[in-house]
Amino acid sequence: MREIVLDTETTGFEPSEGHRIVEIGGVELFNHLPTKNTFHVYLNPERPMPKEAFEVHGLGDDFLRDKPLFRDEAQRFLDFVGDAKLVIHNAGFDMKFLNWELRANGFPQIPNDRAIDTLMIARSKFPGSPASLDALCRRFGIDNSMREKHGALLDSEILAEVYLELIGGRQPDLTLAPAQPAARPGLVQADTGWRPRPRLFPLPPRLTDAEAAAHEAFVAKLGDGAIWLKRG
Between vectors from CA 38 to CA 139 and to CA 175, what angle results, nearest 5°? 55
Does the pLDDT at position 208 exceed 80? Answer: no
Task: Decide if 10 is inside a domain.
Answer: yes
pLDDT bracket for residue 225 (50, 70, 90): low
Does the pLDDT at position 166 exceed 80? Answer: yes
Catalytic hit among 19, 32, 150, 215: 150
What pLDDT does 197 receive? 54
Task: Decide if 120 is inside a domain.
Answer: yes
pLDDT bracket for residue 228 (50, 70, 90): low
The CATH number for 62's domain is 3.30.420.10
What pLDDT does 114 receive? 98
Task: Decide if 192 is inside a domain.
Answer: no
Q: Which structural domain, as residue segments, surrounds residue 171? A: 2-175
Task: Decide if 204 is inside a domain.
Answer: no
- For residues 133 and 137, what is the distance between their CA atoms, to the nearest angstrom? 6
- Based on the structure, what is the number of domains in the chain? 1
Q: Does the CA dihedral 9-39-32-82 come out positive or negative?
A: positive
Q: Which residue has the higher pLDDT, 231 or 35?
A: 35
The fraction of the chain above a pLDDT of 90, given in percent, is: 68
Report residue 42: phi and psi, to 5°. Answer: -95, 145
pLDDT bracket for residue 226 (50, 70, 90): low
Report pLDDT digits (tens) over 78-134: 999 999 999 999 999 999 999 999 999 999 999 999 999 999 999 999 999 999 999
Task: Decide if 193 is inside a domain.
Answer: no
Mapping DSSP to helix (H, G, I), strand (E, B) and coil, where does residue 149 land?
coil
**Centroid of chain to Cα 159:** 3
Task: Decide if 57 is inside a domain.
Answer: yes
Report pLDDT digits (tens) over 71-88: 999 999 999 999 999 999
Task: Decide if 168 is inside a domain.
Answer: yes
95 CB contacts (<8 Å, ≥6 apart)? 86, 88, 110, 112, 115
Helices in 30-172 by DSSP H: which ranges? 51-57, 61-64, 70-81, 91-104, 118-125, 133-140, 152-166
Answer yes or no: 150 catalytic. Answer: yes
What pLDDT does 72 receive? 98
Number of residues in the chain: 232
Does the pLDDT at position 25 exceed 90? Answer: yes
Report pLDDT digits (tens) over 174-189: 333 344 444 444 444 4
What does DSSP say about strands 21-30 and 2-10: parallel, antiparallel, or unpaired? antiparallel
Q: Does the CA dihedral 16-17-23-26 come out positive or negative?
A: negative
- For residues 212 and 225, what is the distance between their CA atoms, to the nearest angstrom? 20
Task: Decide if 56 is inside a domain.
Answer: yes
What pLDDT does 66 receive? 98
Distances (CA, A) of 86 to 75, 174, 211: 17, 22, 33
Predicted TM-score (pTM) of the model is: 0.72
